[in-house]
Amino acid sequence: MSATNQNVFSHGMRDTRETLDAWSRHRWQVLRAWLALSLAIALALLAAVWVVAGLLTPDLTPIHLPGLTSPPEPADLLPILWRNSLVLALHGTACIAGFIAGASMPIAAAQRSGLSRWIHVKAGELAILFVCAVTLFSLGTQALYLGFQGSTIAFQLDLPIGTLLLSVLPHALLELTALFLPLAAWLIASRRGEWNQLLAATLVTVLIAIPALVVAATIKVYVWPHILEALSPVV
């Protein structure tokens, strides 16, 4: 069993190194596909937020928006970065699960027999189901959360939902596109059957997403409040 696990690990590391080497020669082609799909998912989510925000009852509790209701401070970035780091970790975990299911488990199962082989085969199938469940859960919860927040902010600032969504585009598109990069990489790899590339994809997409999320949070705290102030008739 130890030899089998070592073999699986070696295969995974070799595939990851080879993938990174291949991508280094065609990096824009790879990134372009990820970014395009991730942006499409982000736009779809914003459309869902528009619909959800129109259906939900806004909260009447006075909102607190740094930069609008209080002077912005660097500490205001922390809650935003914390929430986004959890979402990014969830999407990165889904990407790793895809690698385990599509690349590692078949190698491990081929070197086992009986019950152990059956368990490894089923574990790979469960990992795929996990990724699908994570994708749906992430999209659903974000649509509800952002829709509720949008409904509340739009009501209290006397803004149409559409106008509010336009105001968030400078940071929301950057933020959501970064968050969905690992899932975009998973979707592309699964469609092509390139499961062995997902570990490398996880590493690259997370490294790209982290600085993008910092920039998006900075725009949200220091720029977005001024946009809202210019648009809202009650501020």
Task: Please report, in tens digits, the pLDDT of each residue of the chain (235 residues total).
Answer: 444 444 444 555 666 676 667 677 767 777 888 899 999 999 999 999 999 998 888 888 888 888 888 898 999 999 999 999 999 998 888 777 777 766 555 555 455 555 555 454 555 566 667 777 777 887 888 899 999 999 999 999 999 999 999 999 999 999 999 999 988 888 888 777 777 777 788 888 999 999 999 999 999 999 999 999 999 888 7
Q: For position 10, what pLDDT does the model report?
A: 55
pLDDT given for residue 175 in this prediction: 95
The token pair that represents 42 in the structure block: 């982000």
Query: How would you write the chain as a 3-class SS string?
Result: CHHHHHHHHHHHHHHHHHHHHHHHHCHHHHHHHHHHHHHHHHHHHHHHHHHHHHHCCCCCCCCCCECCCECCCHHHHHHHHHHHHHHHHHHHHHHHHHHHHHHHHHHHHHCCCHHHHHHHHHHHHHHHHHHHHHHHHHHHHHHHHHHHHHHHHHHHCCCCHHHHHHHHHHHHHHHHHHHCHHHHHHHHHHHHCCHHHHHHHHHHHHHHHHHHHHHHHHHHHHCHHHHHHHHCCCC
